[in-house]
Structure formats: structure tokens, C-alpha cells
Chains A and B, each alone.
Chain A
Amino acid sequence: MSAEDAMLPSADAIEIEKRAAEWVADRRNAEDWTAERQNELDAWLVRSIAHRVAYLRIGATWDRTDRLAALRRPMRTPLPRDPQRKALWPRIAAVLGLVAICGSFAGNYFLKPQGKLVETPKGGQERLTLIDGSHIELNTDTAIRIHYSGNKRAIALLHGEAYFQVKHDAARPFVVTVGDRKIVDLGTKFVIKMAPKSFQVALLEGSARLEDGSKAQGRAIVLAPGDVAVATATATNVTRRSERELTERLAWQHGSIVFHNQRLADAVAEFNRYGGPHLVLSGDVPARLKINGTFRTEGAADFAALTHAIFGLQVQHRDGTIFLAR
């Protein structure tokens, strides 16, 4: 909010306050409150900090009066048409000492237009809820930069892996850039995982458009649920995967890793992303060995023990590193 906004006519503050008071009253009328109304409210709140502070103020007022709700009768009984003050207020004495219900507002990140860097260390994870209600989950060793403004929502995935659950807004497209590629949300849930020379986009719900920003005539691919696009510098391939497989890709959200016929080298690389004991696979281990199973992300040592049990690999622990050899 810049100085210009301070010059709005004074009627504006009153109008905003009225609107905020309507929202709060409507919001508390749970019977009529729908996801659609919530979206409208989110959109209204995001439009201006003036809206937000007015909403907080009226919301906190109603929250304070929740103490009075402790006077509520346990059963709904017919009331006289005009509730009698005298009959009502003495009941206050009965509820002295009650703790007020604190208002809770959805966990939001409000981001300045210049962009905000969010990073996770190895083994870390972070969930963000953006002010528009979109969710981002960062897996281990991940960095994103968020540029949020009135008319755009732009996220740059710098490295690592992130899951996006986007509140679609045609007026403010949600664009994730990975290098020179763009993924444009068309109302969607998707996860992007970066590797040194490629990245994968797996689309879980809705649709998204994968654009190649490097060429003037960039080819755009529209992804449908189940699609996994693997993009390298020169090519993009899309394959369709089962729902189960897609769910397993997101096992990290619950601290798990799922392998299906995974090459040992890939499994080792996967564990090493999470910052536990570093796994080193000796070159003499046959590449044909494949692993199946579900592991904790911090379960590198269990995994190593399993390779010993199943494949008879030699497992040596030295200085926080686990060596796997034939």
C-alpha cells in the first residue's frame, strides 16, 4: 500500500469496514458458508491490506464476543420474542473465568512483490499457504522464489521438489518457472521434481500447461491428470501413470519414500536427498539389482541393512557415511 492509497476519500474506509463486517457476519453463519464463499472471501482479502486489517478488526471483535456464547443454553428452547436483558445477563456470573476462544486465521504467507526466497535444508520440509489459499509444500533441499502481486502469481523453482495446489484465478495466472520452462496452472495440483539436467512434472488433478519459454514459438503441452512430463534441455516427454504411482510420488509429504523396481543407484540417490547418513554405492554392485518397498525418508540405515539382507551387500558405516559394496 503506497501513499496513493492514503489519499482515498474517507468514505472508503467506512465502505471497507462495512464490507468486512458483512464478511465476518456471513463467515460465522456456518449454515450458509460454502467453499465458493470462502474463495470469494479469500479473493477479497487478498485484494488489499485495507480489506485484511478491517476484516481482522471486526473478526477479532466477534471472537471476543464468543465469550458471551458461553451463556448459550445447552438446548435450543423457544425464547421470548424480545430477549430480556435482565434474564440474560445474570448468567454472566456463571461463566466468569472462561477463556475466550481465540480467532484463528488460516496460516498464510503474505509476500512482498519483490519476491521471497523460501528454502528447505536437507531433511527439511516446509508447507506454505499463500494468501490466495494456494498451498505449496517443499520437500528436502528445495528452494523457490515467490513473486506475488496484484495481477500475477509467479513461483520460480530453483532446485529440489515442490508440490503445488493452486487456487485457480483466471485473472491472476499461477505460473511456476523451472529454468526456461513454465508450468501455467489451469486449476490444479501438481508436483515438480528437479534433477541436475532435467525435471519432472506430475499432474494430479485439474490441468496445467507446460510452456517452453526459451523459444519464441514455444511449444505448449497441456497436461491432464496422471500425466508425468519429463523435460530435458531439448525435449519433453509425457507419459501417463497410474493414480497409485502418483500418490507414491507424494509419499514424502508424509515422510516416506516408495520404491517400485527402483535401481539401487537411484534409490541411494533418493535417500541422499534427505540429509541422513550419506549412502555410497560401490561401482561393483550390479546395476540389475532393483528394490521395492516403503521407507522413512530418514531410514537410510534401514535401507542399507536391507540391501545386506536381500542382496548380501557389504555394509560399512564410517564417519556418518554408509558404504554399500558387493
Chain B
Amino acid sequence: MTNTEPDLDDVDPCILGAAIAASDVDAWFVREVLPLEAALMQYLQHNWRNKSDIADLRQDIYIRVYESALQGLPESPKAFVFSIARNLLIRRMRREQIIPFEAVSDFDALGSAIESPDPENTTIARDELRRLQHAVDRLPPRTREAFVMQQIEGLSRREIAERMGVSELTVKTHLRDAGRFLADMLYGEQPDKRRPT
């Protein structure tokens, strides 16, 4: 498949410069981009009707964000991420020949209007611990059990398997799922949301 659309990605407000160390981009991505995920998910859910595409869209946005950041870290991560999200949605719309959202005029306003958590607030230990607690509480019971034993009690896989009376492979699956659930809860949701899983 070829890319026949105009180069929408070229308008991304990134500072072009020498390629930078991936370790810096990794740290930047974790520090600046992941905290925007809740707002991003809200934006995508609002603007894309087919909910089963959301995970895929998020992945594509992250890929583009990461790739562009390798050329230079943007001054405003939020504007950068939402600009890429916007361009990606336009691209998809053109390709699929659909206008999936109700009011196109919302489209530009949304990104900047959505409140994203203030990074400083999210690093306050008290709030963070409450949030972690709340997220872990909402894990499916067996997954939670395995996660707590590994992460809080520091038990080995074998010990966890013994205590849970399951195979190590099952423990591995629980731990895998714990990471995925927690990522969605800790990054994908607004901090005040108490959505059941």
C-alpha cells in the first residue's frame, strides 16, 4: 500500500534538529506523552465512532509521536501529540471516506480544551499512591492476587504459582494482564474517573 495523501505529518510542530538519543526520547515519552493518554483517549473516543479501532489509533499516534521526537523533542508535547492525533484521524477519514464525528467544528477545539492532568499533580506521592491503590483494587481478583504477590510481596513466579495453586504459565498470564489493565487505568483514564473494568 502506498501513501497517497498529502504530507499532513509534515506540519507537526516539532523542532527539526539532529536525531537524538532514543534513551532521551524514551524518558521524554514516559514523562510527557503517557500522562496525556487520558485526554487522548477521550479525544479519540469522541471523534471516532468505531471503538474497536481506538487501541490501534492510539498505537499509531504513539508510533508517530515517538518517530517525530527522534528528530527533536517538541516544545509543547500536548500540542504535538494532539496535532499528530488530528492528522491521523483526518488521514483515516479520507481513506475510509467517512466523517465519523458529529460536529467537525469540535475537532480542533477538543485537543486544547480537554484537561490533561497537570504533571506536577500526578507526581504528588499521596495522590499517586491512592490512584495506584484504586487501580490495583479494580484488577480482576486472581490477576490482582498475582500482581500483589510479585510487586508488593516480592515473591518469585514459582512461589506465586504454589500459593495460587496454578501453573507458572498462568501466573505469567496474570502478570501480563495486570500490566495491561493497569496501563489503561493509570494512563488511559482521567485520575478522578472510577470506571469499573
Contact = CB atoms under 8 A, between A and B. Distances in A.
Given A25-B179, A62-B179, A64-B128, A7 B1 contact: yes
B109 to A, nearest CB: 24
Interface stretch (A16-24, A137-145, A242-250, A288-296): A16-24
Interface stretch (A74-82, A224-232, A251-259, A262-270): A74-82
Contacts of B147: 65
Given A10-B55, A25-B175, A110-B19, A96 B152 contact: no
A110 B25 contact: yes
Contacts of A106: 23
Contacts of B189: none
B78 interface: no
Max chain A C-beta neighbours (<10 A), residue from B56, B95, B163 = B56
Given A10-B53, A29-B157, A53-B63, A72 B152 contact: yes
B153 A21 contact: no
A83 B125 contact: no
Contacts of A131: 22
A3 B3 contact: yes
A159 to B, nearest CB: 19
Nearest to B64: A1
Interface residues on A, range: 35 or more
Contacts of A25: 172, 175-176, 178-179
Interface residues of B, number: 69
Contacts of B132: 64-65, 67-68
A199 to B, nearest CB: 27
A67 B128 contact: yes
Most buried by A among B2, B130, B148: B148
B26 A57 contact: no
Nearest to A64: B186
Given A17-B180, A88-B148, A96-B129, A107 B21 contact: yes
Interface stretch (A97-105, A190-198, A203-211): A97-105
Interface string B143-171: 00101111111111100000100000000
Contacts of B129: 67-68, 92, 95-96
A13 B133 contact: no
B145 A83 contact: yes
Interface in A42-100: 49-50, 52-54, 56-69, 71-73, 76, 79, 81-83, 85, 88-89, 92, 95-100
Contacts of B123: 100
Nearest to A79: B153
Chain B CB count within 10 A is highest, among A5, A50, A110, for: A110
A12 interface: yes
A239 interface: no
Contact of B63 (A5, A81, A116): A5
B132 to A, nearest CB: 6
A248 to B, nearest CB: 30
Interface in B166-197: 172, 175-180, 182-183, 186-187
B137 interface: yes
Given A13-B56, A88-B152, 5 more contacts: A60-B34, A68-B133, A98-B125, A108-B21, A109-B19
